[in-house]
Structures are given as C-alpha cells and as structure tokens.
Amino acid sequence: MADILLEVCVDSPESLRAAIAGGAGRIELCSALEIGGLTPSPGFLKLAADMPVPVHALIRPRAGGFDYDADEVDQMVADIHAARQAGLAGVVIGALRSNVLDLETLMRLKAAAGPMSCTLHRAFDLCTDPQAALDQAVAIGINRILTSGQAVTAMEGAAVLGRLFGHAGRRIGILPAAGITDRTLRALSGLPLTEVHASCSVLGPTAPLGFGAARVTTVGRVRALKAALVDLGRGTG
C-alpha cells in the first residue's frame, strides 16, 4: 500500500504550525472547530499560504445546517475568491436542499474556485442517498468527499465507508473523517485508505467569563497518527 496522506484540520496559527511540525501532508484551514468549523479569516488565509504543505480552506459561513440563501451563497463565493487570491491550494465546500446536494450552488462555488482542488465536506453525510450524491459530486468535478460514512465517527460508519470506496472506484477520492486517532485507526484497516482527516487535538484551558475552551492540535498527536498510518500502509497496523 502507498503512503496514506494525513490531512489535519486547524483553526489557529499554533495548531497550524504543530500540524506541519508533526508531519501533516495537507491542512484544512478553519475557524471555530468547536462548532464543526467555519470559514477562516483573511489574515489566517494569508498566513497559511506561506506554509510548506497544501492548504485547503473550509468555506462555511455559519453554524447549523447547509441550506443556504442567496446572500450566504454570495458570501461563500467571495470567501473562495479570497482563498484563491491568497494562493491556497483548495477549498472545502458543501450545500444542500432538503438533504440532497444543491448542485446549482455547488457548481457556482466550484466555478469560483477555478483550478483549486475542491473537497465536498460532511454535508454529504446528511444526504439521504449517499451513492447518488457521490455520483453527482463526480459529475460536477469534485475531487474528494470528506465523510464519516454518515455516522458520528468514521469507525461507526466503516461499513458505509467501505461501500462508498467501492462505488467511487477511481472516480473520486474518499477522505474518512471524525474521531480518527492512532488508537482508533485499526477499525478502518479493512478500507483502501489513501488519505484520512483528523484534528489530532486536545482540549485547551477554559477561558474566563464563559468564553469557553478551544481544541489545540499537538505535534505529538500528529506524529502518533502519522506513525500509525505508516504501520497500516506497511501491513503492520
């Protein structure tokens, strides 16, 4: 098996640098990971563009579901233009209408991205017919699908992930996500993995006055998952 790429999602410069120091092969750049991730700021885009690995920006204008109105779509288009202007390698997009892919919106977002790589995010996991959604993603030129197999974690969704890999063939990448660590990876060992997505993070200190706590990526956790992926690729995991 070839090397399995590790994509790490980060929402701060500290986590960004830790992910790269630990050996991440690609970054998903976000803000507010504690609510599933939102679009990163223009300043964070510019900082990340100077990093030595490909960086993909999450394009998600707000928390909650993925049915967007016209103003929100305009906002996402502008955010994609900002990521493209900053020099990032890709964007992570998604939009639904009543639990099916909103193809009109997705095609507009993909057109705004131009030559950038496009990942369909976990809005996919809310689609009522995932195989049909996969076919639609292929048809509009999406490069990969970020998915937990429609479960809370990738390990719980392993059976669905297996079916998605089989249905996808070589037409589109499948990027398993949610709850993946060096300790849980073994549950995915039966899948033809080429890349996985994780935060490799720990909960940071709680801020005063109810401002909450952020998750922080650590070099140690990235290295541990990287080592587990190498072992899995060699057939020893």
> How does pLDDT run across 129-144, given as a tens digit for each residue?
999 999 999 999 999 9
Alpha-carbon Rg for the chain, nearest whole angstrom, is 17
* Rounded average pLDDT over 7-19: 98
pLDDT of residue 206: 80
Give residue 83's domain range.
5-233
Strand partners, 31: 38
Q: Select the more confidently predicted residue: 2 or 53.
A: 53
- Is the pLDDT confidence value at 233 over 70? yes
8 Å CB contact between 84 and 116 = yes
Structural domain count of the chain: 1
- Helices 103-113 & 70-86, crossing angle to 10 degrees? 20
Report the CATH number that the domain containing residue 95 is assigned in CATH. 3.20.20.380
Instruction: Report the candidate in 132, 131, 82, 120 with the shortest Cα–Cα distance to residue 197.
Output: 120
Residue 214 or 169, more confident:
169
Q: Which residue has the higher pLDDT, 210 or 168?
A: 168
| Three-class secondary structure assignment of 127-192 | CCCHHHHHHHHHHCCCCEEEECCCCCCCCCCHHHHHHHHHHHCCCCEEEECCCCCCCCHHHHCCCC
pLDDT higher than 90, residue 89? yes
Contacts of 139 (CB under 8 A, 6+ apart): none
